[in-house]
Amino acid sequence: KWGKMCIRDRFLEFAISLVQECGQIILEASKERYSKINKIYEKGENPSDLVTETDKIVEELIKSKLNSKFPDHKFVGEETAAAAGKHHGLTDEPTWIVDPIDGTTNFIHWFPFVAVCIGLTINKEPVVGAVFNPFLNQLYTARKGNGAYLNLNTKLPLSSPNPPITLPSSLSQCLVVSEYGSNRSSTTLGKKFRSVHSLMSKPGDVTWGKKNAGLVRGIRSLGSAALDIIQVAKGEADIFWEIGCWEWDVTAALVILRESGGIMVNGNGPNEEPFNILGRKYLAVRGGSSCAGDETVEQSQLRLVREFWNIVEEIDCPR
């Protein structure tokens, strides 16, 4: 039914106007730190999983504006899903996938990596993405087939002044971004820590000193999965890895990542099974215009995916 629908600019334009409007609301609300508008709730039984009034207000605003503008379209949002207490599938209908505040803990603490994320899927394919960080006034946008941009004028990945961006030839040259999520059960977090540890040190490498290289160059956590992915789209990080996050963390940023030349898989790569936006395991590698050796850029990306996945321990994350 939606196969012939063209991906029109008006979808992206509307998403941009919404993230900008909501960014202002988020900024204003952040001034009222710890006051009523920012009343903080713990979600469910999980004390590290927080939500504020602002998360809810922003999501309701986006939902109602999208519903008036595109009444036939579906809506998926983090706080709506939380209120319903159950999850949903994804259909072929145009579906707006929204995270009103990605980085709620950052928002509460004024750590300036906070994003409002609006993505659109058609036929389950992410086609439009807008991610806005109001604290840094950075707007990231993309439409399938039309490139990815910072503040509507700077193309991603960044390449300053004008050299080709060379892909890392090995994991040891990669800067990795990842999150720990809000699941602090010792089994889940323990496995993740062991995986991260195995990336930061080489097996059998027990001495401190010059010989310790580590399997990756470093690991960073911004506290916003969407902005982690954006770092990869910009070319300022090489790999994004996260287990347990949701489609609203990923959809908008994924369009931007892909339009910047990056790839995202759920596990070992596209060879295994088609990418599933609901997969809750995400591994991304940035794009580049060249790479070392005889490989194509795509071959290099897939090799890095395989090498990375061989190191980290698989974690079961049923949804």
The residues that are catalytic are 78, 99, 101-102, 104, 249
- Our CB check for ligand 2AM shows the closer of 97 and 225 to be 225
Asked if residue 102 belongs to a known ligand binding site, the reply is yes
Q: Which is nearer to Ca ion, 242 or 249 (CB)?
A: 249
Under the criterion CB under 6 A, does residue 103 sit at the interface with ligand 2AM? yes
* 215 token code pair: 């399997």
Under DSSP, is residue 63 helix (H, G, I), strand (E, B) or coil?
helix
Q: Pick one of 104, 133, 195, 231: the residue that binds ligand 2AM (CB under 6 A).
A: 104
Handedness of CA 59, 64, 68, 70 (dihedral sign): positive
**Per-residue binder mask for ligand 2AM (CB under 6 A), 214-233, x = binder:** ---------xxx--------
Name the binder of 183 from Ca ion, ligand 2AM, none, CB < 5-8 A by kind: ligand 2AM
* Residue 248, H or E segment: helix 247-259
Whether 59 has a binding-site annotation, put simply, is no
Q: Rule CB under 6 A: say whether 253 interacts with ligand 2AM.
A: no
Smaller CB separation from ligand 2AM, 111 or 309: 111
Can you tell me which of 99, 238, 247, 259 binds Ca ion, judged by CB under 5 A? Answer: 99
Residue 19 binds ligand 2AM, judged by CB under 6 A: no
Partner from ligand 2AM, Ca ion, none binding residue 76, C-beta < 5-8 Å depending on class: none
Q: Does 20 sit near ligand 2AM (CB under 6 A)?
A: no
Which span (66-74, 101-109, 121-129, 232-240) binds ligand 2AM, by CB under 6 A?
A: 101-109
Nearer residue to Ca ion within complex by CB, 80 or 301:
80
Closest contact distance (angstroms) between CB of 162 and Ca ion is 35
**How far apart are alpha carbons 146 and 86 in whole angstroms?**
35
Query: What SS3 state is found at 237?
Result: coil
Secondary structure element (H or E) that encloses residue 240, with its range: strand 239-243
> Cα–Cα distance between 134 and 116 in angstroms, integer?
8
Asked whether the beta carbons of 233 and 260 are under 8 A apart, the reply is yes
Question: Residue 108 interacts with ligand 2AM (CB under 6 A)?
Answer: no
> Which of ligand 2AM, Ca ion, none interacts with 244 (beta carbon under 5 to 8 A by kind)?
ligand 2AM
Neighbour-count burial of 175, counting CB atoms closer than 10 A to its CB (0-12 exposed, 13-18 middle, 19+ buried): middle
The answer to the question of residue 266 lying near ligand 2AM (CB under 6 A) is: no
Q: Is residue 59 within the footprint of ligand 2AM (CB under 6 A)?
A: no
End-to-end Cα separation, the chain, in angstroms: 29
77-84, Cβ contacts within 8 angstroms, sequence gap of 24 or more? 77/248, 78/246, 78/248, 79/51, 79/55, 81/248, 82/43, 82/51
- Beta-carbon contacts of 145 under 8 Å, excluding residues fewer than 6 positions away, are 7, 259
Which residues contribute to the annotated binding site? 78, 99, 101-102, 249
Which residues contribute to the annotated binding site for Mg(2+)? 78, 99, 101-102, 249
